[in-house]
Structure 1
Amino acid sequence: MRPALILICLLGSLAGIAAIEGETAPEFSLPELNSETHHQLSDLQGKVVYLDFWASWCAPCRVSFPEIIKLKQDLADKPFEVIAITVDENPEAANRFLGRYDVPYPILHDSDGEWAARYRLPGMPTSFVIDRDGVIRLRHSGFKPGDMAIIREKIENLLAADGL
C-alpha cells in the first residue's frame, strides 16, 4: 500500500471524519483505468449511484467485487449505476485484480489518491450510496459476508421512494 494512502486513511480515522450521510458527494472527474475517457459524478444526476473505492491489495475487495457485479446485474433495468474507483498507483496491479471478474461498470483510476483524500476514506474498501440529487445516503467501510444485504436494501429503498 502506498504511504500517502496510509496517511490519508490514518488521519481520517484518527480525526473521526469521513464523508457522511446527508452531505453532498464531492464531484469528481477521473479517467477510466484503461482509457482516457473521463467520468464525472454529475453525469449521473437523476440516478442512484453506488460508488466503491477499492485497491488490488485489499482482501475484503475480493469478497465485495462479485457481490457488486451481481447487484449491478440485478438492477440493470433501474436508474442505478455503479462506479468503482481504484486507488492503485500501478494500473497493472489493478488490471491483474480485475482479470478475475467480468465487470459491467466503469473502473476509474485515482492514481494519486486525490479523490480518496477528498472523500476522507477510513480504509479499503469504502463505498457510498448516493441518491438522485447527489447526496450521500449511506457510507460503508470494509466488507464482509452479509454487508451487501444492507447496501442493497438502502439502494432499493431509494429507488422505491422515487417510484422506480
Structure 2
Amino acid sequence: MKRIMQLFSVILILLSSTQVSAQVQWLEKFDLTQYENKVVYLDFWASWCGPCRKSFPWLNEMQAKYQDQGLVIIGINLDRDIKNANNFLNTFPANFRLYSDPQGLLATNYKVVGMPSSYLFSGDGELEESHIGFKKSKQKAYEASIVKLLQQLPNKQSKD
C-alpha cells in the first residue's frame, strides 16, 4: 500500500508539472478580421527562445494596461510539441491570447526570420510596424507605437 501511495504521489507531481495556469487562452482558430477596431500585437514565440522569456512579462503588462482601450495581444507559438509550450507557460505565464502553429504556416505567411518576431496592426487591420527580437531598451518605443495606434481608434459608445 505504501508503494502504491508513493507511485500515486509521483504521478500527481508529473501531472501538475505539465498543467498550465487557468488564465491561458488558447485560440481554436486564428482570424485577425474578428479584431476590427482593435490594435493587434502579434508575437511569434517558442519555448526555446531566450528573449521570449524577457518579453512575456512586458506583454502581460501591456495587455493589462491597454486592453480596455482596444489592445489585443496574441502570442503565436511555434513549438512542434504543445507540451513544450505548456511547460514554458508554467514558468512564464501569458495573460493574453495564444495560438499554436506547430507547422509554422503563419510564421511562413509573416516571413518570420527570428524569435520573437512581433507585428503591430492598426484598428483597420493594416500592418503598421514589425520587429525581430525583444530589447528591454526599446520597451518605451514599442509601447509608444501601441499608444499611438490606440489613440487613432474610433471612440466607442459602449464597452465590448
Structure-1-length-normalised TM-score: 0.75
Distance in 2 separating the partners of 1:88 and 1:34:
16
The correspondence of residues 2-151 of structure 1 with structure 2, limited to 5 A, is: 37-151=28-142
Q: How much is the aligned-residue C-alpha RMSD, in angstroms? A: 1.8
Give me the whole-angstrom Cα distance separating, in 1, the residues matched to 2:128 and 2:148: 11
> Which has the greater radius of gyration?
2
CA distance in structure 1 between the aligned counterparts of 2:100 and 2:69, rounded to whole angstroms: 25
1:80 maps to amino acid: L
1: CA distance, partners of 2:88 / 2:137 = 22
Aligned to 2:149: 158
In structure 2, distance between residues paired with 1:136 and 1:34 = 24
- Contact 2:41 2:72 (8 Å CA) reproduced: yes
Q: Deviation string for 1:14-33 (max 9, x for gaps)?
A: xxxxxxxxxxxxxxxxxxx9
> Greater shift after overlay, 121-130 or 144-153?
144-153
* Contact 2:37-2:154 at 8 Å conserved across structures: no
Residue 35 (structure 1) shift: 6.0
Residues in 2 aligned to 1:134 and 1:122: alpha-carbon distance in whole angstroms: 22
Q: Please, which runs of 5 or more residues in structure 1 have no aligned partner? A: 1-32
More helix by share: 2
Q: Percent identity?
A: 33
Moved more, 84-93 or 138-147: 138-147
Residues 74, 96 of structure 2: 8 Å contact kept = yes
| Helix, strand or coil at the partner of 1:77 | helix
Displacement after TM superposition at 1:102 (Å)? 3.6
When residues 80 and 36 of structure 1 are mapped into structure 2, their CA distance, relative to the original with a 3 A threshold, is closer
- Number of residue-to-residue matches in the alignment: 132
Cα 1:132–1:35 change in 2 (3 A) is closer
